[in-house]
Structure 1
Amino acid sequence: MITTTTTTIDLPSGTIEYVAHGPEDSAHPPVVFVHGVAVDHRLWSPVAEILAESGYRCYTPTLPLGSHHIPWGPEVDRSPRGAATLVREFVAELGLSQATLVANDTGGAITQFALDADPEFVRALVFTNCDAFDLFPPQPFRLLFALLRQRMLLKPLIESMRWRALRHSPLGVGLLVTDPDPDLTRSVFEPLRTDARIRDDLIAFLGQVDPAELAAVTPRMSRVDLPVTMVWGSDDRCFTPEHGRRFAAVFPNAQFIAVPGARTFVSLDAPRAVADAVAATAARI
């Protein structure tokens, strides 16, 4: 039976929830997962469960990016770099410096900011389809982010996501996953719909998303000399395979794996492919 625990952790830059999967006494390096905007730890559950069955200890935090339940608050840095600090604090507090870190979507940008601050805060990296260079975010989400930054528009837009047809359209998750789970897609928007403090956190974060800033950071990933694997959904129209290969070329020690039939949320479309890549990357440490 897989051991799964849900815990709250207080960090200098905020309080977050996380779920841990798998044995505490694992002989494998731990695995830490980083998601993007308006999703939570469940993005990674299928991958974490596969790895846990193989004996890996996996940590899936819910970062304060819109689907969180504990407000981040105005007293801290609610920017992509602030989120990156939160990730590094999480790794340090739990003693996970030997971890393989797995990132997706906006979480890929956050991970790059974390690596820019400390290129060796973890031991290996797996990127699934994500932001890099000035693609932060890609269309149509650049337009959507601009709308969501408007306080008067955010709540009505989120209220509209109660309609399944809109949630699963290109302005929702239609471009991101091949077969959306209606219950999951509805529930990830609930914190934004019901809590003004969560909406305030998202507005603050999106207000500091700057493509030019990431465009300056991504080339500096050339100094990250860790085992890196790109596990890229080939059917993604937001983060294309060409974008992924260009991103992979920045790192001195990167491999690229194309996953046919998968989109941005490759962890939901093809969890076995991601789990296999994580295990293979961890073996390169």
Structure 2
Amino acid sequence: MIAKSSGGRAVAADPTNTWRDPALGEPHEVRLPSGPVRYHDRGTGPVLVFAHGYLVNANLWRKVVPLLAEDFRCVTPDLPLGAHVVPVNRAADLSPPGIARLLADLVRELGLDDVTLIGNDSGGAYGQLVAANHPEVLGRLVLSSCETPEDTWPPSPGGFGLLKATAASAVTYRALYQPLRLRRTWRWRNTYGWLAKYPVDDRVMNSYVRPVLTRPEIRFDGRKAIGAVSARYTRDAAERLIRRRPVPVRLVWAAEDHVFPLEHAKRYATKLGAPLHTVADSYTYVTEDQPAQAAKLIAACAVDRETGP
């Protein structure tokens, strides 16, 4: 596989760590103030930008992009959250405001207009910070099974808080992820088992877990990012979104979410004055478990159509 950079430079890729589904579209690389970021681009029309969460990458969206690309331009970056391809600058700010700034910089650098940002898992937390801190780059925000003001960050169900605790030390952080070398651990509830209701393809899972296991520079970025998260960021952003409503917000939520309870989403949607739509038979990764349902709801939210019950 060869990735294309924004400057036309061909980049050799190691399929063990960097495989991305061709359904995501053409791979590119752009240099932002925080460093290089890889992204995929497919389709034409109104722009959708997808933000994933910690220890996954653009592959999270591989099933919905083909369903949306006939009507939308789908831009799917790898964020520097531990499963990415190229490290950002060593001194890059990977705190939640820093990641939000990276997303805003990406939109600006690519010259995108009237963007619908779709954030899942902690990608939704970062999305709320983009809307609160950089509303000028967005047309609307779609939150999908992510942190609300009632959720901790990292979320407490499943023991995910341990991720931040071990990030205090490079040694403990590296040790925490060693069980992921074993395929059977991928379905544990404190790894991916409470995020995806159904098993994820092995090749995709390897793209998620191998970088943090094998590449110190990627592990460095992931450790910085997870070590900096805090619910104070999302609660502050939520307060500003509720009070100021800088961009329209829509919610697309897993009906069976164990990590981000649907009841939390309902209360948040009421405060935002935002419609909430549920995806049946799914955990947090709605685009993994129910891509057709998720794509239909995302498309409707992006053009502000009614989506039905």
| TM-score normalised by the chain length of structure 2 | 0.85
Give 1:225-244 correspondences, 5 Å limit: 225-244=246-265
In structure 1, which of residues 27, 49, 52 is the aligned counterpart of residue 66 of structure 2?
A: 49
Give the corresponding residue for 1:214. 234
Equivalents in 1 of 2:247, 2:237: separation in Å?
17
Give the corresponding residue for 2:154. 137
Q: How has the CA–CA distance of structure 1 residues 70 and 3 changed in structure 2, closer, same or farther, with 3 Å as cutoff? A: closer
**Cα offset for 1:160?**
1.4
Please say if residues 72 and 78 of structure 1, whose CA atoms lie closer than 8 Å, have aligned partners that are also in contact.
no
**Cα offset for 1:278?**
2.0
Equivalents in 1 of 2:111, 2:30: separation in Å?
13
Q: Deviations over 1:232-280 (max 9, x none)?
A: 101111101011112222324x210111211110111111222112221
Equivalents in 2 of 1:198, 1:129: separation in Å?
26
Q: How has the CA–CA distance of structure 1 residues 159 and 143 changed in structure 2, closer, same or farther, with 3 Å as cutoff? A: closer
Q: How has the CA–CA distance of structure 1 residues 228 and 273 changed in structure 2, closer, same or farther, with 3 Å as cutoff? A: farther
**Cα offset for 1:225?**
4.4
Equivalents in 2 of 1:191, 1:65: separation in Å?
10
In structure 2, which of residues 107, 110, 115 is the aligned counterpart of residue 99 of structure 1?
A: 115
**Cα offset for 1:186?**
2.5
Residue 76 of structure 1: SS of its match in structure 2? coil
Equivalents in 2 of 1:44, 1:74: separation in Å?
27
2:46 partner amino acid:
P
In structure 2, which of residues 184, 189, 206 is the aligned counterpart of residue 165 of structure 1?
A: 184
Please say if residues 34 and 102 of structure 1, whose CA atoms lie closer than 8 Å, have aligned partners that are also in contact.
yes
Equivalents in 2 of 1:146, 1:259: separation in Å?
32
Give the corresponding residue for 1:70. 86
**Cα offset for 1:148?**
4.1
2:273 is the counterpart of 1:257: no
- Which stretches in structure 2 are left out of the alignment for 5+ residues? 1-22
Give the corresponding residue for 2:144. 128
In structure 1, which of residues 15, 27, 36 is the aligned counterpart of residue 53 of structure 2?
A: 36
Q: How has the CA–CA distance of structure 1 residues 114 and 244 changed in structure 2, closer, same or farther, with 3 Å as cutoff? A: same
Residue 161 of structure 1: SS of its match in structure 2? helix
Give the corresponding residue for 1:150. 169
**Alignment root-mean-square deviation, CA:** 1.9
> How many pairs align?
279
Please say if residues 67 and 188 of structure 1, whose CA atoms lie closer than 8 Å, have aligned partners that are also in contact.
yes
Q: Deviations over 1:177-222 (max 9, x none)?
A: 0112233223211111111111111121122112223222212112
- Which stretches in structure 1 are left out of the alignment for 5+ residues? none
Please say if residues 24 and 62 of structure 2, whose CA atoms lie closer than 8 Å, have aligned partners that are also in contact.
no
Equivalents in 1 of 2:271, 2:84: separation in Å?
32
Please say if residues 158 and 192 of structure 1, whose CA atoms lie closer than 8 Å, have aligned partners that are also in contact.
yes
Equivalents in 1 of 2:73, 2:233: separation in Å?
33
Q: Percent identity?
A: 34
1:179 partner amino acid:
Y
Give the corresponding residue for 1:195. 215
Please say if residues 131 and 246 of structure 2, whose CA atoms lie closer than 8 Å, have aligned partners that are also in contact.
no
Residue 173 of structure 1: SS of its match in structure 2? helix
1:272 partner amino acid:
A
Equivalents in 2 of 1:207, 1:145: separation in Å?
5
Give the ranges of 4+ consecutive aligned residues of structure 1 lying more than 3 Å apart after TM superposition.
none
Q: How has the CA–CA distance of structure 1 residues 260 and 125 changed in structure 2, closer, same or farther, with 3 Å as cutoff? A: same
Please say if residues 28 and 39 of structure 2, whose CA atoms lie closer than 8 Å, have aligned partners that are also in contact.
yes
243-252 vs 12-21, greater mean Cα deviation: 243-252
Please say if residues 47 and 74 of structure 2, whose CA atoms lie closer than 8 Å, have aligned partners that are also in contact.
yes
Give the corresponding residue for 2:124. 108
